[in-house]
Amino acid sequence: MIEVKNLKKIYTGSTAPTVALDGVSFNIKEGEFVAIMGPSGSGKSTLMHIMGFLDKPTSGVYKFEGKSIDELSDDELARIRNKRMGFVFQSYNLLPRTTVFNNVKLPLIYGGFKREIEQKLVSQAIDKVQLLHRINFYPNQLSGGEQQRVAIARALVNNPSVIFADEPTGNLDSKSGKVVMSLLQDLNEDGHTIILVTHEKYTSEHAKRIIQIKDGKIISDEKVWHRRFAKDEDELIK
């Protein structure tokens, strides 16, 4: 699904150039659950932004489902990003004056769906994160954990082939974090490819594979032998 070869990203400005990625290479197959782990400033978020078509590399090759980012127009990049990718961010990125239903519906706006199909897709996504009882609530009426579950439902509504999760538990208490990780594990079991960006070893161990990055370089790429399962760690959603 994802092929990254000798990827480099250099930011230039008024000061000296900053190397964010320095020759990164790896492949991710469909259905994997991969954690990209590293400290602040290691390049992991830059890497996720490039993989999610939110940024472009300075050099190197990035192919998504066989198509190189260099061969696609801005319109094609936007279409693939909307149809094939879902995003979950640390800060939720919900519209504050919009209900749960309408926040989750956002990726469908340009899809040309009939209203009844649109309503079905949104309701199914909200049901997957067990928030149908909050469907007409606004973000300020929800806990942080519930807001992140809404963000997951929004990422899920187009049935994307890959979900990018950038520090999805960073603003949550431990119990809410376990709920979010349990949902991501469930989505992976349903066939979604999950790419998790985190600085926490504990969180990364919920994945099946960990790519460690430091100073823009990959320092290890290993299978998780003692994987954590969020559902086994605590009583989650009641």
Residue-wise pLDDT tens digits, 198-207: 999 999 999 9
The Cα–Cα gap between 150 and 67 comes to 30
Q: What's residue 171's pLDDT?
A: 86
Q: What's residue 109's pLDDT?
A: 83
The Cα–Cα gap between 165 and 230 comes to 16
pLDDT under 70: residue ranges of the chain: 14, 233-238
State the DSSP code for 6: E
CA distances from 228 to 37, 169, 206, 225 (A): 15, 15, 5, 10
The Cα–Cα gap between 161 and 32 comes to 11
| CA triple 63-197-25, angle to 5 deg | 35
The Cα–Cα gap between 61 and 21 comes to 13
Q: What's residue 154's pLDDT?
A: 94
Contact 24, 213 (CB under 8 A): yes
Q: What's residue 237's pLDDT?
A: 47
Q: What's residue 233's pLDDT?
A: 66
Q: What's residue 91's pLDDT?
A: 86
Closest to 61 (Cα-Cα) out of 116, 117, 21, 111: 21
Sort strands 162-166 and 85-89 into parallel, antiparallel or unpaired: parallel
Q: What's residue 162's pLDDT?
A: 95
pTM comes to: 0.91
Q: What's residue 238's pLDDT?
A: 42
The Cα–Cα gap between 167 and 160 comes to 19
Sort strands 59-64 and 2-11 into parallel, antiparallel or unpaired: antiparallel
CB atoms within 10 A of CB 133: 9
Position of tokens 């590399």? 57
The Cα–Cα gap between 1 and 29 comes to 5
